[in-house]
Amino acid sequence: MSFPGTRSPLKPTGKARWQVPMRRHGGTGPLEYYLEGEIEEKFRRLYPVHSVRRVMQWFGISFSTAHRLARGLGLGKDMRAVRREQARDARRTCERSGYYASLRGKPPSEACLEAARRKRAEGFNPTLALRERNPRKYRRMLERRGEARRELFRKERLRELYGLERKTRLRVTRTLTSGARGQKHNMIRKRNYYADPDHPSWVCYDRETDRSPRMEATAARHGLRVVDGGQE
């Protein structure tokens, strides 16, 4: 079984089901694996339709030895059969871990949650791993998150504007720039304008205000709104 971003081990793990025997090369040379009889027939039948990882496990040989024996017999891989096998393995793994159940709206299994907690305790971060493994997919994820966040703020501002019930606790009041804050402060201090506590971007005036068309034009360029306090 193989997954993207993983590699097959170079050595077999566990006990072999049909151990390939060894003999000395040329009678006196180094030991090497060889195929004969029933084991050779099984190798010919199983190697083309199963992954190299399974062949290594079943016959107790390393990755390079499996390929060497296959080349010696002229064997190749039936990749359609191998991919079907890998898909079955992935399906069984996802069912056992609770991944499919989570897609159906069910809570993941305790084994899945425990595995996730263990990986995070070891320092694993899925977002950082995605950025290192696939930068393009990572950028697309950030763009989707940004669009969803902006849409959420837009809806909350509309709810606040029309007096509807708020759905979140987001602070949707637009933050003034440093230039807008400075212009607003100067208008209040020099010309007797005053601020509206409910609308940070408003600058109000009344009969006691010494209005200045130039300052009001500058305020408009900074995104401030000049409002008649008597008709507010």
Question: Do the Cβ atoms of 193 and 205 come closer than 8 Å?
Answer: yes
What confidence tier does 174 reach under pLDDT thresholds 50, 70, 90?
low
Lowest mean pLDDT across 13-17, 183-187, 219-223: 13-17
In the predicted structure, residue 4 carries a pLDDT above the cut 70:
no
Question: Do the Cβ atoms of 59 and 35 come closer than 8 Å?
Answer: no
pLDDT at res. 3: 46
Residues 94-108: tens digit of each pLDDT: 887 777 777 777 777
On the CB side of 232, how many CA atoms lie within 13 Å of its CA? 17
Residues 55-92: tens digit of each pLDDT: 888 888 888 899 999 998 898 888 999 999 989 988 88
- Show Cβ contacts of residue 52 under 8 Å, excluding neighbours closer than 6 positions: 8, 63, 66, 67
Q: Rounded to two decimals, what is the model's pTM?
A: 0.43
CA distance 219 to 214: 9
